[in-house]
Amino acid sequence: MNITITKNELPIPVTILHLEGKLDRSNYENLIDEAQDVYDSGARYLVLDLSQLTFISSAGLASLHQIALLFRGEKQTGKDQGWATFHSIDRDRGGRPQEHVKLFSPTKEVLEELDMTGFSKLFEIFSDLDQAALSFRQAVSAT
């Protein structure tokens, strides 16, 4: 999987991780590391661009959840404990979508996995990248 990073500074700073290829157990830690790096550098609003992601495994789904926890400011489990994180997802399914992490344009295959596992309820999904970035402004205004 390839990851590229872009930033959108208006109206508030938003970091976009563009994912290309397959997200699975062979590389899910790379995604968590990239998210941790941008968080450590001060990013607080993240869009995951899934428009070029052709496959996501359960390890990939667990990495999405770990990233959501990170951007909510919650204590992280170790990357090697992805399944522990994955099992904690049930407590989040009944809640509101993530405020600090949004998903952009998942492919049909990835969207089917997100729907089947309930992740499409955990994350707001946008088909327009500008709208995804602007959605953070609305969240900031509400606080």
Residue position matching structure tokens 């999987």: 1
Categorise residue 120: left if φ over 0, alpha if ψ from -120 to 50, beta otherwise. Answer: alpha
pTM (2 d.p.)? 0.86
Residue position matching structure tokens 């997802």: 89
pLDDT, one tens digit per residue, over 87-138 is 555 555 456 678 899 999 999 999 999 999 989 999 999 999 989 988 997 6
- Contact 82/62 with Cβ under 8 angstroms? yes
Mean pLDDT of the region 14-42: 97
Residue position matching structure tokens 């090697």: 80
Residue position matching structure tokens 């955990």: 122
pLDDT at 123: 94
List the one residue out of 58, 66, 17 whose CA is nearest residue 41.
Answer: 17
Q: What is the DSSP annotation of the chain? A: -EEEEEEE-SSS-EEEEEEEEEESTTTHHHHHHHHHHHHHTT---EEEEEEEEEEE-HHHHHHHHHHHHHHTTPPPPPGGGHHHHHHTHHHHHTSPPPSSEEEE---HHHHHHHHHHTHHHHS-EES-HHHHHHHHHHHHHH-
Q: Is the pLDDT of residue 56 over 70?
A: yes
**How does residue 75 score in pLDDT terms, banded at 50, 70 and 90?**
low
Least confident of 7-16, 38-47, 120-129: 7-16
**What are 8's strand-pairing partners?**
14
- CATH superfamily of this structure's domain 2-142: STAS domain (3.30.750.24)
Mean pLDDT of the region 52-70: 94
Mean pLDDT of the region 30-40: 97
pLDDT at 81: 53
pLDDT at 10: 72
Mean pLDDT of the region 64-75: 89
Give the residue extent of every domain in the chain.
2-142
